[in-house]
Amino acid sequence: MTARNPAEIGLGTPPLTDSPELVASPTEDLEVGKKPGFLYTRRGMFIVRLATLVIIIGLWEWYARGVSPALLAPPSRILEKGFEMFATESDLIPAIIQSVGTMFIGLALSIAVGIPLGLIMGRFKTAEAVLDPYVMFLYVLPSVAFVPVFVVMFGLDIKLRLALIFMSAAFPLIINTIAGVKHVDQELIDGGVSFTANERQITRTILLPGSLPFIFAGLRIGFSAAWVGCIVAEMTALITGMGGVLLEAAARFRTAEVFVVIFAIMAVAVTIQWFTARLEYWLTPWSRTNERV
Amino acid sequence: MVNVNKAFATSGGKVLDDFNLKVRPGEFVSLIGPSGCGKTTALRIVAGLLSPSNGKVVVNGQDSLGPSRDKAIVFQHFNLFPWRTALDNVAYGLEIHGMKKKERHQIAREYLSLVGLSESEKQFPSQLSGGMRQRIGIARALAINPKLLLMDEPFGALDALTREYLQGQLARICEERNLTTLFVTHSIDEAIYLSDRVVVMGVKPGRIIEEFPISLRKPRAEYNFRAEPEYAKVREEIWELLEQQIRKTSEAVAV
Amino acid sequence: MSAAVGPYDSLQPTSRIASRFATRKNALRLLSLIVVFSVWEILGSSNPFFASHPLAILEAAQADLIPVVLPAFVTTIIALATGLAIATPIGVGIGFAMGRIRLMDVALTPYINAIYATPRIALIPVLVLWLGISFELRVTIVALGAVFPIIINTYAGSKHVDSELLDTGYSFTANSRQILRTIVMPSSLPFIFAGFRIGIGRGVSGVIVAEMTSALTGLGRIMIENAKYLQIAEVFVSIMVLGIFSLFLFEGVARVQQWLTPWGNTERLR
């Protein structure tokens, strides 16, 4: 079993999710016929993780009690506040809807532009040469740097947020798509050509499926980058959405509320990860090996 | 001094059943059989990389169930460390055994020249051909001066010409050094060429079916051993046995 | 046999270097840059939608670059370097622990993942509360950003070491320490570099965000100050500095990686 090594492009590795269907087993059958150990069973893993969580929360609770409530809120308080914020007519739920919604629109934009652009740049060396300097430059540049510029260009409304989300998410997507296309074996393309496929057909039937693993890597990175971009926009320029709620709570030193929002933001982020992993699993049945976690 | 390997192995799925093999010092024994007969499993058990659920491995009268300094393996896919030069790869075993750099480099150089690769000392495996890589693998195994040489289809990943060349080299080296060797292969010709004894294994369950001592004189590179009548006879017998076994597996699948 | 004269023999060294860069690709790139910047200049100087245009940026650079931008940039770099220096050994250590010890793997994976995915900016208000607006704050944010990709990539590299190579080590009677040192670590090196590369990116964005929100020192503060007074051309100067620096940094790391891992991919050679 070889590890995925997209190390060359700096794509990084997939998130640490357990393979959805299979239970983990050790990679070495040191003894023929030996059963996998406790730490490899679903139940075992769950227990260990739960225990870790309990320990962390326990320590946190204990430490937070001895410290000023403005500095650190104990988990019990956070939970309490959490119920309050979600149950009552607080700003939190509308804020969540607004933030997540904006992110999706920005992401859709990034995908609509990013993937086709990546396909073109990957396939045609001329396009790559022409666009490459900008893509690389904007990829390494932290998108946060554009906030002042975008404020001037777009004003303080949703266009600003969309622009920032786009800047965050589009470039990883483009770069990974390019890598994916380049990774498609030239022989496969030649095969298509020999069947007299035209450019459109080649793209649809060979390039796209062939680059899917890389496109998904880009999607994974781009998706989480989009969420980061959204929160950054909300917390730096406009005080709106979940970022805004967080800042307001922080300004009033309501630390427990701040933590509630932090966890809500984290929850969205984790859901995004889980979702992209599942999507990839569903859409690329041919690369499902008996991958041992 | 008798080199005895005796192992029974029964697993959950009965990979090997009642595998009982004795190898004499200086003897070259081939294990041959269709896929799934457990020959690689058997080799790995002898090597100490797998544990049999039953039975043991005895080397020179002493139990030897795990890896030891007396044994060395040559792998089918070479398993060279990509980050080490040819020299450092050959010196690997010596390094693990605690030898100092100067000494082990000296010995490694000896063995590199034994396999004819002195010039490639500073190169990385990625820069070398398949045949060269396997020669390094062989040098690496020999460098620790093992009492037992274990080879798992070492020439299986090479092209036919390189294979023939390396078979000749291996035969020469083993004879010069009187090495005790256990050699897994799926090529009858290769087995007969190299061995003093060919052990044929069967499938479902994996076990030893029959053993064939080869009395063709050595060194077999120096004459056309394939023209000898004994060769044809032994080859025929082994082939018939194997064919039976192969038919067994494909029949089971067809049903 | 007389020495044959090649086509480039009579050229001066500089021309030889020039011929290396004079590829078709680079020509296209240069052309593209010229066209885009020209169009930007034409549109940007007239249309207010464009926040700035190249000539204005150059002018601002002439005034600001050396006295203002570069010193602030140095302050930022120091925080960046410190944060990375802290994050790397911690990240590699935890990554190896998780990769090789099953208990650590199972216990920590979901939580590392969750924190990694969370936008760090959400943590800044709390961190400001704890650390105040200080050098420590910026370093912490850089370290937090860099450590997770390093952990995750080191984990991936050390977990999925080719089992055949491990078997080879075992067969030579290597003990666990030797296996770690001679097989797991070299094998994981490319992964560690990948993680480091990503970590740098996050570190840079982290320190800029921290400086923008806390507005005390560094490049981020310069950018926010300029934005406050609507001096967008000046902002672009900082953006350019940031971008060019990032490009050099990534390229530099790639070179170091090439130098330290000259053998290429560590997939088992067949």
Question: ipTM of the assembly?
Answer: 0.84
Q: Contact at 8 Å (CB) between A203 and A119?
A: yes
C161, C240, C151, C249: which is closest to C197 by C-alpha? C249
B208, β-bridge pairs: B201
DSSP E strands: which ranges in chain C? none
Q: Is C39 exposed, middle or buried (0-12, 13-18, 19+ CB in 10 A)?
A: exposed
A132 and A50, same structural domain?
no
> Residues A79-106: pLDDT tens digits?
888 888 888 767 788 889 999 999 999 9
Residue C20 lies in a domain: no
Distance separating alpha carbons of residues A155 and C171, to the nearest angstrom: 67
Give the mean model confidence (pLDDT) for residues C94-98: 94
B203, β-bridge pairs: none
A128 and A159, same structural domain?
yes
A214 touches chain C (CB under 8 A): no
Which of A283-287, B47-51, B116-120 is predicted most confidently? B116-120
If pLDDT is split at 50, 70 and 90, which confidence band does B219 have?
Answer: confident
The SS3 of residue A229 is helix
pLDDT: which is higher, A15 or C140? C140
Judged against a pLDDT cut of 60, whether residue A34 lies above it is answered with no
Domain-terminating residue out of A6, A34, A66:
A66
A143 and A42, same structural domain?
no
Q: Is C142 exposed, middle or buried (0-12, 13-18, 19+ CB in 10 A)?
A: buried
Judged against a pLDDT cut of 70, whether residue B130 lies above it is answered with yes
Q: Which two tokens stand for residue A90?
A: 């607080």
Residue C43 lies in a domain: no
A184 and A101, same structural domain?
yes
Which residues in C lie closer than 8 A to residue A233 (C-beta atoms)? none
> Residues A128-152: pLDDT tens digits?
988 988 999 999 898 888 988 898 8
If pLDDT is split at 50, 70 and 90, which confidence band does A200 have?
Answer: confident
Domain-terminating residue out of A8, A38, A66:
A66
A201 and A110, same structural domain?
yes
Residue of C33, C152, C162 lying closest to A133 (CB–CB)? C33
Residue A9 lies in a domain: no
> Residues B57-95: pLDDT tens digits?
777 777 777 898 889 999 999 999 999 999 999 999 999
> Any idea which of A175-189, B126-140, B169-183, B239-253 has the lowest mean pLDDT?
B239-253
Judged against a pLDDT cut of 90, whether residue A56 lies above it is answered with yes
State phi, psi for B62 to the nearest 5 degrees: -115, 140
C-alpha distances in angstroms, A170 versus A136, A276, C1? 12, 16, 59
Q: Is the peptide bond before C48 cis (omega within 30 degrees of 0)?
A: no
**Domain interval for residue A96:** 85-292
Do the chains contact at A143 and C265, CB–CB below 8 Å?
Answer: no
Judged against a pLDDT cut of 70, whether residue A2 lies above it is answered with no
Give the mean model confidence (pLDDT) for residues A186-207: 80
Phi-psi region of B202 (alpha: psi -120 to 50; beta: other; left: phi over 0): beta
3-state secondary structure chain B: CCCCCCCCCCCCCCCECCCCCCCCCCCEEEEECCCCCCHHHHHHHHHCCCECCCCCCEECCEECCCCCCCEEEECCCCCCCCCCCHHHHHCHHHHHCCCCHHHHHHHHHHHHHHCCCHHHCCCCHHHCCHHHHHHHHHHHHHHCCCCEEEEECCCCCCCHHHHHHHHHHHHHHHHHHCCEEEEEECCHHHHHHHCCEEEEEECCCEEEEEEEECCCCCCHHHCCHHHCHHHHHHHHHHHHHHHHHHHHHHHHHHC
**What b/e sequence results for A158-196 when a residue is b if at least 16 CB atoms lie within 10 Å of its CB, and e otherwise?**
bebbbbbbbbbbbbbbbbbbbbbbeebeeeebeebeeee
- Select the residue from C23, C25, C26, C28 to test the A interface by mutation, using most A Cβ atoms within 10 A: C28
| pLDDT score of B191 | 92
Amino acid at A213: P
Q: Contact at 8 Å (CB) between B9 and B37?
A: no
Distance separating alpha carbons of residues C178 and C174, to the nearest angstrom: 6
Torsion of CA A111, A113, A118, A121, to 10 degrees: 180
pLDDT: which is higher, B67 or C45? B67
**How many domains in chain A?**
2
- Would you say the C-alpha torsion C37, C41, C42, C48 has a positive or negative sign? positive
C268 touches chain B (CB under 8 A): yes
C-alpha distances in angstroms, C152 versus A14, B41, B162, C92, C109? 9, 35, 42, 9, 9
Number of other residues whose CB lies within 10 A of the CB of residue B172: 14
If pLDDT is split at 50, 70 and 90, which confidence band does A164 have?
Answer: very high
A169 and A137, same structural domain?
yes
| pLDDT score of C140 | 95
C110 touches chain A (CB under 8 A): yes
Amino acid at C233: A
If pLDDT is split at 50, 70 and 90, which confidence band does C261 have?
Answer: confident
> Residues C240-257: pLDDT tens digits?
999 999 999 999 999 999
C13 touches chain A (CB under 8 A): no
| pLDDT score of B90 | 95
**Domain interval for residue C186:** 62-269
Distance separating alpha carbons of residues C155 and C93, to the nearest angstrom: 9
Distance separating alpha carbons of residues A178 and B245, to the nearest angstrom: 50
A75, A69, A86: which is closest to A53 by C-alpha? A75
Residue of A49, A227, A272 lying closest to C107 (CB–CB)? A49
Amino acid at A227: W
Q: Indicate the pTM of the whole model.
A: 0.83
How many residues comprise chain C? 270
Residue A258 lies in a domain: yes
| pLDDT score of A31 | 38
DSSP state of A4: P
With residues binned 3-state (H G I as helix, E B as strand, rest as coil), the percentages for chain C, rounded to 5, are: 80, 0, 20
Distance separating alpha carbons of residues C166 and C160, to the nearest angstrom: 10
Judged against a pLDDT cut of 50, whether residue B194 lies above it is answered with yes
Give residues with Cβ within 8 angstroms of B54, minimum separation 6: B8, B9, B10
Residue tagged 């793209």 (tokens): A203
Q: Which two tokens stand for residue C230?
A: 């609507």
**Chain C, nearest residue to A242 by Cα:** C122
Residue A110 lies in a domain: yes
A157 and A31, same structural domain?
no
- Would you say the C-alpha torsion A170, A172, A177, A178 has a positive or negative sign? positive
Residue C45 lies in a domain: no
Give the mean model confidence (pLDDT) for residues A6-12: 38
The SS3 of residue A155 is coil
State phi, psi for B55 to the nearest 5 degrees: 105, -175
A113 and A35, same structural domain?
no
Share of chain C above pLDDT 90, in %: 52
Do the chains contact at A52 and C103, CB–CB below 8 Å?
Answer: no
| pLDDT score of A13 | 42
| pLDDT score of A288 | 60
- Would you say the C-alpha torsion A222, A225, A231, A235 has a positive or negative sign? negative
| DSSP codes, C6-65 | PTTTTS-HHHHHHHHH--HHHHHHHHHHHHHHHHHHHHHHH-TTSS--HHHHHHHHHHHI
Judged against a pLDDT cut of 80, whether residue B8 lies above it is answered with no
Which CATH number does the domain housing residue A115 bear?
1.10.3720.10
Which CATH number does the domain housing residue C87 bear?
1.10.3720.10
> Any idea which of A121-130, A188-197, A277-286, C261-270 has the lowest mean pLDDT?
C261-270
Do the chains contact at B97 and C173, CB–CB below 8 Å?
Answer: yes
C21 touches chain B (CB under 8 A): no
A31 and A99, same structural domain?
no
Q: Work out the mean pLDDT of chain A and round it to a whole number.
A: 81
> Any idea which of A225-229, B233-237, C226-230 has the lowest mean pLDDT?
C226-230
C-alpha distances in angstroms, C136 versus A273, C86, C143, C207? 31, 12, 10, 11
Do the chains contact at C155 and A16, CB–CB below 8 Å?
Answer: yes
If pLDDT is split at 50, 70 and 90, which confidence band does C17 have?
Answer: low
A143 and A52, same structural domain?
no
Q: Are strands B28-32 and B62-63 parallel, antiparallel or unpaired?
A: unpaired
| pLDDT score of A12 | 41
If pLDDT is split at 50, 70 and 90, which confidence band does A27 have?
Answer: very low
> Any idea which of A113-122, B61-70, C17-26, C169-178 has the lowest mean pLDDT?
C17-26
> Any idea which of A33-37, B128-132, B159-163 has the lowest mean pLDDT?
A33-37
Distance separating alpha carbons of residues C270 and C268, to the nearest angstrom: 6
A206-210 own/partner pairs: CB under 8 Å, 24+ apart: A207/A119, A207/A122, A207/A123, A207/A181, A208/A119, A210/A180, A210/A181, A210/A183, A210/A184, A210/A185
**How many domains in chain C?**
1
A131 and A54, same structural domain?
no
A239 and A159, same structural domain?
yes
C222 touches chain A (CB under 8 A): no
Residue of A3, A27, A224 lying closest to C156 (CB–CB)? A3
Residue of A2, A131, A148 lying closest to C267 (CB–CB)? A2
Q: Are strands B207-213 and B197-202 parallel, antiparallel or unpaired?
A: antiparallel
Distance separating alpha carbons of residues A142 and A138, to the nearest angstrom: 8
Distance separating alpha carbons of residues A285 and A278, to the nearest angstrom: 11
If pLDDT is split at 50, 70 and 90, which confidence band does A161 have?
Answer: very high
Distance separating alpha carbons of residues C168 and C164, to the nearest angstrom: 6
| pLDDT score of C13 | 55
Q: Work out the mean pLDDT of chain C and round it to a whole number.
A: 87
If pLDDT is split at 50, 70 and 90, which confidence band does B21 have?
Answer: confident
> Any idea which of A5-14, B116-125, B211-220 has the lowest mean pLDDT?
A5-14
Q: Work out the mean pLDDT of chain B and round it to a whole number.
A: 85
Distance separating alpha carbons of residues A263 and A269, to the nearest angstrom: 10
User: What is the Cα A45 distance to its own chain's centre?
Assistant: 24
If pLDDT is split at 50, 70 and 90, which confidence band does B138 have?
Answer: very high
**Chain C, nearest residue to A26 by Cα:** C102
